[in-house]
Structure 1
Amino acid sequence: MMSPISDSQTESRARAALRMARRVVVKAGTSVVANADGSPSLTRLGAIVEQIAELNQAGIEVIFVSSGAVGMGKNLLRKQAHLNMSFKDLQMGGNSGLNPVQDAAIGATGVNTAAGRLSPHTSIGDLLTVDEHMETSAAKSFAAAGQFELMNLYQSLLSPKGVTASQMLLTQADFHDEHHLKNLRYAVERLLSLGIVPIINENDAVSVVQGYDDGKPVFTDNDSLAALCARTFGAEVLLLLTDVEGVFNMPPSNPKAKLLPFYHSKSNVSIGEKSAQGRGGMAAKIEAAQSAVRPGSNCAACVIAAGSDLTSIRSILSPAYDPDFGPAKGTLFATSGSDLEKLALEELVNALEDEESCSELARDMAIKARKEARKLMTLPHATRQSILNAVADALVERQDEIMQANQMDLEAAQKNNTSLQLVRRLKLTPDKSATLESGIRQLAAMDDHLGVVKAKRELSEGLELSLTTVPIGVLMVIFESRPDSLPQIASLALASGNGLLLKGGKEAHHSNTALHEVIGDAIERGSNGEISRDIVALVTTRGQVKDLLALDDTIDLVIPRGSNSLVSYIKANTRIPVLGHADGVCHVYVDKSAKEEDACRIAVDSKTHYPSACNAMETLLLHKDTLENNVALNVLQSLRSEGVKCLGGPKAMQNGLCDLATNKMKEEYGDLVCLVEIVDSVDEAIDWIHRYGSGHTEAIVCDEQDPVGEEFLMRVDAACVFKNTSTRFADGYRLGLGAEVGVSTGRIHARGPVGVEGLLTTKWQLRSSGGVVNLACEFDGAEPKKTFTHKELIL
């Protein structure tokens, strides 16, 4: 049995107990072993074999139950047979052209199938698509051909790892007959004692599912076979690898489906359709799991997990696995009434309580931020200016502290082999700090944006209406990689009187924590204690983000700053309005009238000034005439001399401008890479931009006097459209906004770089004057007491 559970484990103690097992059964289903066409999945098989080898070398005895022989045999015969030959023709002695294995698969005329009998004119194609029930002769033939290939594959993968495997093909009789079973147990024990991995499969070529004394078969598929092996051979843990992450409370295709970390007697599960491959479905796997851990069995636990996850075996069973690498995977089953079940149930209850506590914490953070924001909006403009200047001062005074924290993140990124693109965004530099300080002071020096009267109207004599600016309320900004975003966003929220919840990427954890501490201290100092640091909260866990996205009654606007997948996830998981952009596919179009030097400088700056920024050029469009005047060649030479890889579209390749082709016409590279293409006219350039652009920033390079520039500015539909300037100007600081909370490509509320004004909304104020109240009923009827004037007033 498994060793006692250690209290020192940082992960779930129930899951930690699984790593102490010394004998395990791992079962891989057909959908894991093979692709849809029956061919072996070398990626998944390679990962499985590597992890089994790790367990074997760690002294853990592994029994591997593998499906896939039928599918592999079917694929093998499909590749080798002449599909257009009739069944009768293929039977002609010595003339079929098939090897004995293929002849065996074909058999005699009139082979029995589940659907009836095959006619003398049934083709091999028909044979290969018959029902794969184990009672069919076709399926038995496929198994005979596929099992040999499957074992050869396993042996070739395991041998380089120093692991020896043996094949065991079992039938119902091997478990039903006491003499057979005794020999079988001895054989398995002997193999395991020698460090050999038994690879077990049902002998599909001869096996017949049949009942015995109790009227039930010993096993019906490889799931139940794996459970039977776990009980029979004294395994402590059974791992069933399948095509889904585990057991869900409803079919995984349902967006509301939730993975069950622990399956118990009261678990409510709705089973969907089974995979098109294999005989078992989720119902069969649940039944097999429950069978494996039934009382009286040495098998204390079973986990159903995803075989497509290339680290499932390691993360669930390896003693050397670091739990910090990821959460527990799959669904755990435990013996009813066992200590393991009690512990798992206790942890499940605690997790639910933690989730509830987390939700309450998230709501509390949002409520506190709103409370402080409402106080801030009523304070004088000078108070907000003082807070902003205090933040700018703190960033300078405590720069060493911030840089040290950032260095910790950079070192962690290096250990984790983080991409260079991400590291560039992660790194804080003195230049970035100087830009932050300058932008925040620019914000502080601006006129007050709050309480600004946008319009005045007299509705009637003594009744005046005004439209004034007010904060949106509570913002949540989720950003990836770039810690310099935190002080920018916080400063904009403070300048606009909004409460703020921030969530940065885990790769910038130390940097974000340090910056949040510095800004919090500055807020309280700059306001003389009138405003608490709670106005800017830092969200630190993934669970909190999920909870925050559900607080549509407390949070007013979500602003994601990051990848397309991040933006898509947020939009799909919240009812809170979302402001932002998913892609930053920006174009520079070089017109025929462009000067060579201008075109080179703008293209290079747009691409290389900060390649990972969302406003960097990703596509260079060149007018066809630039090929003749050498502008195109010089622009490309300038880009290449700066280390830019230029990928060619169809026309660019035809004209020999690029060496490497691409078929992706819309791509955000975020690196020193760009697409180059030739267009015939400004019309084609604009059509291209509208088709492949993201509505972020588009630029034209042309002669200053050429009307094509103004035409481009007018016709291109994007948040930012520039003439003879770099796309990098699409930035809140450069456009004089002080900073930006993000760039919006939407059309509602705010568009382009979003500064203070983009974080404001308006409210109507209606005032009666002259000591008279106004009633709506006084304006009704044919002869009203009062009449509307609706006269616009000068501000």
Structure 2
Amino acid sequence: MSTTEPPSRAALRRARRVCVKAGTSVVANENGSPSLTRLGAIAEQIAELCNGGVEVIFVSSGAVGMGKRLLRKQSNLLMSFRDLQGESTSNEKLLRTKSFESLLAGTVRPHSSAEKKKFYDSACASAGQFEMMNLYSNLFAQCDVSPSQILVTQTDFTDERRLHNLKYAIDRLLGLGIVPIINENDAVSANLGYGPDDVFSDNDSLAALCARHFGAEVLLLLTDVPGVYDRPPSDPSSKLLPFYKSGESSVEIGAKSAQGRGGMASKIDAALSAVQPGSPCSACVVAAGSDLNTIRAVLGPSGRHKSKGTLFCTPGSDLEQQALLDYAASNSDENVSDEARRKAVAARTEARKLLAMPHSVRQDILKEMASALLARKSELLEANAKDMSAAETEEVASTLKNRLKLTEDKLATLAAGLEQLADMADPLNVVKSKRELADNLELSLVTVPIGVLMIIFESRPDSMPQITALAIASGNGLLLKGGKEALYSNQAIHEVLGDAIEKGSGGKIKRDIIALITSRGQVADMLALDEVIDLVIPRGSNALVSYIKANTRIPVLGHADGVCHVYVDSSASADNASKIAVDAKTDYPSACNAMETLLLHEDCISNGVGPTVLMALRAAGVKCLGGPRAMKVGLCDTAALERKFEYGDLTCQVEVVSSLDEAIDWIHAYGSGHTETIVCSEDSPVGEEFIKRVDAACVFKNASTRFADGYRFGLGAEVGIATGRIHARGPVGVQGLLTTKWQLRSTKGIHYVSEFGGNDPKKSYTHKELM
């Protein structure tokens, strides 16, 4: 297990005001005596927080338990004294044989057992509160921290004036570095229990109230078990839940502690109450008070800590989203692949449902997705801003940051592409060929979806709408694995697109058709799922694509490098060459279709075209590194270290060649088969020769390499650009996400093979092309 603390847990340490609650089972031993070991550890750790600038509100149980012990001791002393004085009656001696609780409760009228216990607890609380505070005062004094006592009842929270005064008192105490120790005033309330309107019936719900009303950012509930389990902790098969998600986490509640009033159900209710939307308390942890290091491990200064207890977060908050990621990442490798398998199967199921529906349903979904991108752009840009801020903090490379950034223009372009896709003809069930095999027996080849696609992409959140739209248009299921640097952007986009899919389909298709894998588990585990994933399309760095190609049996569609060339022929004009070179390099330097190498015919040095192009590039902020010949003729001051390199920024290599043949040989040796272009005069034959001879996915004449794009090609969008030769090449749109199937139809009667065989066949093949 990694020793690195999950980000959601590390975030708790940034809280400046916290609330800690210790239950009866924590502060007292089974016989009711105070646990000096645990109380001393609590005081010491709270003092550490205070000394670190954290304001601590402490809610403590235990007064009733301590009071029982004190009154029992006092009663025994009293009875012993009366024995010595000879004043005990035979009846008193008989009562002494009964429990102290029965003796005390027997003096109360009326005699219902419930009321006897309440009044008995009130007497115990009154006696025990002083002893408990005296103990805390001594313990905190050893740590140079001053505590104070505040006893409350429900009226203090329901009466606005009293609540205002209470908040003021708490703020003043905390501002002076004093720890307020809060407890229910049992002597007044008699543990009567209260209604549902923002009041409490035990110290768990009291702690939640304190956290919400007094501005605590984190609540820590110390209890007698390590956290919330899916089953009673006594069950050997029970599992501790590191994260509890409201409405999704299943918990079977067992017996509560024999000492306190609350049980695990009350702690779960209190935790959910504390972190409800609108509360300043964004997190609650239920953890073991018997662990003498719990407070320090959950709330103390940063360090190497193993997560303790069960974390609750405000529903829908960024912290909850991070906790979900952390929880997924903490699963075993097997569980990571299980998650991917489950989601892939669900995506396939929804895709098959979509395939059976009319084309108009897919069109409606695409149009709704396009509208949603624009209608919720502020939400998407806000999420992207968080990723950009994190990228700055973590010093992410500039090329990745460029790809990471979302803008209104990008969203508008994406929406336009989706609208374009929606307006296209149905790509499914298109008859590619039709042949008569025999009389009344026809064979057709039609287009169908590939199945389930897994797209692994880095830094490019704008990839997700394009990929999703193409998957919907082609009827495929989709499994998405984005990079951690685009965490918030990917989650926001996935949520928007999921809503659009369900709305656009009228609820007929679930959002499960596109699944976002948020776990940071090994990608290798997902690459092994060849039984449920049909095609992998990686979009990212050379290292990512190379790794995926080397580690899966699933077919891979994509490109590892984007080393694109602009070759300037001797017939090119300086103006045309400059405009194309500058556009190819600077329009989007980090894109895979940006120019990385400028090749100049040697005649361009003497006719002035070469120096003019370099001057234009440098004026646009491009750093030009020279190849061997470019350095020799003085075009560049700094030599390029490698002949094949994808810079991804405002840097390019410049080299001089002596002929078209040499230019093509250079491109074949050092290019990546992505996109190559030639700049020449309109009437020069070298342009067509270049297009014919260069072996690349895209080859242009007098056009910027930046045109190598699905949207610009009129494909609506692209899942990526493929440089392989099977089964798609260049910008991959809808057609690249289709395969085919054969359909054989008997138009009259039935057909079987034996009719066509033997010495005297009844039927014969015609093999007539019908289209």
TM range (shorter): 0.5 to 0.7
Partner of 2:752: 775
**Superposition deviation, residue 12 in structure 1:** 14
**Superposition deviation, residue 596 in structure 1:** 1.3
State the alpha-carbon separation in 2 of the partners of residues 790 and 743 from structure 1: 38
Structure 1 residue 512 and structure 2 residue 490: aligned? yes
SS at match of 2:731: strand
SS at match of 1:737: coil
Which residue identity is paired with 2:380? I
Q: Deviations over 1:728-769 (max 9, x none)?
A: 000000000000000000001100000000000000000011
The total of aligned residue pairs comes to: 459
Of residues 653, 665, 671, the one that matches 1:687 is 665
State the alpha-carbon separation in 2 of the partners of residues 654 and 9 from structure 1: 54
- Unaligned ranges ≥5, structure 1: 1-6, 14-317, 326-349
Q: Deviations over 1:361-417 (max 9, x none)?
A: 221101000000011111101000000000001111111111110111111111111
Partner of 1:80: none
The within-5 A match list for 1:755-770 is 755-770=733-748
Q: Deviations over 1:83-109 (max 9, x none)?
A: xxxxxxxxxxxxxxxxxxxxxxxxxxx
Structure 1 residue 789 and structure 2 residue 750: aligned? no
CA contact (8 A) 1:539 1:545 kept: no
CA contact (8 A) 2:564 2:597 kept: yes
Structure 1 residue 698 and structure 2 residue 682: aligned? no
Structure 1 residue 361 and structure 2 residue 339: aligned? yes
State the alpha-carbon separation in 1 of the partners of residues 550 and 476 from structure 2: 25
Of residues 383, 391, 394, the one that matches 2:372 is 394
Of residues 720, 725, 730, the one that matches 2:703 is 725
SS at match of 2:421: helix
Partner of 2:527: 549
State the alpha-carbon separation in 1 of the partners of residues 467 and 7 from structure 2: 35
**Superposition deviation, residue 570 in structure 1:** 1.1
The within-5 A match list for 1:739-758 is 739-758=717-736
The within-5 A match list for 1:352-501 is 354-501=332-479
The within-5 A match list for 1:548-587 is 548-587=526-565
State the alpha-carbon separation in 1 of the partners of residues 597 and 331 from structure 2: 50
Partner of 2:179: none
State the alpha-carbon separation in 1 of the partners of residues 669 and 5 from structure 2: 54
CA 1:484–1:521 in structure 2 vs 1: closer, same or farther (change >3 Å)? same
CA contact (8 A) 2:452 2:476 kept: yes
State the alpha-carbon separation in 2 of the partners of residues 11 and 424 from structure 1: 25
Structure 1 residue 664 and structure 2 residue 642: aligned? yes
**Superposition deviation, residue 663 in structure 1:** 3.4
CA contact (8 A) 1:557 1:576 kept: yes
Partner of 1:604: 582
The within-5 A match list for 1:83-94 is none
**Superposition deviation, residue 571 in structure 1:** 1.5
CA contact (8 A) 1:472 1:498 kept: yes
CA 1:680–1:402 in structure 2 vs 1: closer, same or farther (change >3 Å)? same
SS at match of 2:521: helix
State the alpha-carbon separation in 2 of the partners of residues 637 and 546 from structure 1: 47
Which residue identity is paired with 1:649? G
Of residues 590, 594, 602, the one that matches 1:616 is 594
SS at match of 1:455: strand
State the alpha-carbon separation in 2 of the partners of residues 322 and 696 from structure 1: 46
State the alpha-carbon separation in 2 of the partners of residues 615 and 431 from structure 1: 19
State the alpha-carbon separation in 2 of the partners of residues 351 and 532 from structure 1: 25
Which residue identity is paired with 1:376? L
CA 1:569–1:779 in structure 2 vs 1: closer, same or farther (change >3 Å)? same
Which residue identity is paired with 1:563? S
Of residues 496, 500, 507, the one that matches 1:529 is 507
Which residue identity is paired with 2:625? L
CA contact (8 A) 2:5 2:305 kept: no
State the alpha-carbon separation in 1 of the partners of residues 390 and 337 from structure 2: 30
Greater displacement, 581-590 / 539-548: 539-548
The within-5 A match list for 1:281-300 is none
CA 1:642–1:516 in structure 2 vs 1: closer, same or farther (change >3 Å)? same
What TM-score comes out, normalization by structure 1 length?
A: 0.56
State the alpha-carbon separation in 1 of the partners of residues 356 and 659 from structure 2: 55
Q: Deviations over 1:151-197 (max 9, x none)?
A: xxxxxxxxxxxxxxxxxxxxxxxxxxxxxxxxxxxxxxxxxxxxxxx
**Superposition deviation, residue 542 in structure 1:** 2.6
Greater displacement, 587-596 / 410-419: 410-419
SS at match of 1:633: helix
CA contact (8 A) 1:733 1:739 kept: yes
CA 1:375–1:560 in structure 2 vs 1: closer, same or farther (change >3 Å)? same
State the alpha-carbon separation in 2 of the partners of residues 385 and 12 from structure 1: 40
SS at match of 1:611: coil
State the alpha-carbon separation in 1 of the partners of residues 6 and 625 from structure 2: 48
**Superposition deviation, residue 779 in structure 1:** 1.0
CA contact (8 A) 2:347 2:452 kept: yes
Of residues 675, 685, 710, the one that matches 2:688 is 710
State the alpha-carbon separation in 2 of the partners of residues 361 and 565 from structure 1: 25
State the alpha-carbon separation in 1 of the partners of residues 403 and 508 from structure 2: 35
The within-5 A match list for 1:650-661 is 650-661=628-639
Q: Deviations over 1:683-741 (max 9, x none)?
A: 00000000000000000000111110000000000000000000000000000000000
State the alpha-carbon separation in 2 of the partners of residues 442 and 460 from structure 1: 41
**Superposition deviation, residue 357 in structure 1:** 3.0
Identity fraction in percent: 66
State the alpha-carbon separation in 2 of the partners of residues 10 and 321 from structure 1: 12
State the alpha-carbon separation in 2 of the partners of residues 539 and 352 from structure 1: 14
**Superposition deviation, residue 572 in structure 1:** 2.0
State the alpha-carbon separation in 1 of the partners of residues 438 and 517 from structure 2: 50
CA contact (8 A) 1:394 1:518 kept: yes
Partner of 1:631: 609
Q: Deviations over 1:219-276 (max 9, x none)?
A: xxxxxxxxxxxxxxxxxxxxxxxxxxxxxxxxxxxxxxxxxxxxxxxxxxxxxxxxxx
Which residue identity is paired with 1:671? D
Partner of 2:265: none
**Superposition deviation, residue 319 in structure 1:** 8.4
State the alpha-carbon separation in 2 of the partners of residues 426 and 12 from structure 1: 23
SS at match of 2:361: helix
SS at match of 2:529: coil
Which residue identity is paired with 1:619? T
- RMSD (Å) for aligned C-alpha atoms: 2.3
Which residue identity is paired with 2:600? L
The within-5 A match list for 1:66-105 is none
State the alpha-carbon separation in 1 of the partners of residues 764 and 698 from structure 2: 45
CA 1:442–1:468 in structure 2 vs 1: closer, same or farther (change >3 Å)? same
CA contact (8 A) 1:456 1:464 kept: yes
**Superposition deviation, residue 546 in structure 1:** 3.1
State the alpha-carbon separation in 2 of the partners of residues 403 and 351 from structure 1: 26
CA 1:671–1:703 in structure 2 vs 1: closer, same or farther (change >3 Å)? same
**Superposition deviation, residue 352 in structure 1:** 10
CA 1:562–1:324 in structure 2 vs 1: closer, same or farther (change >3 Å)? farther
CA 1:527–1:324 in structure 2 vs 1: closer, same or farther (change >3 Å)? farther
CA contact (8 A) 2:329 2:520 kept: no
Which residue identity is paired with 1:614? C
Which residue identity is paired with 1:483? P
CA contact (8 A) 1:744 1:750 kept: yes
State the alpha-carbon separation in 2 of the partners of residues 663 and 352 from structure 1: 42
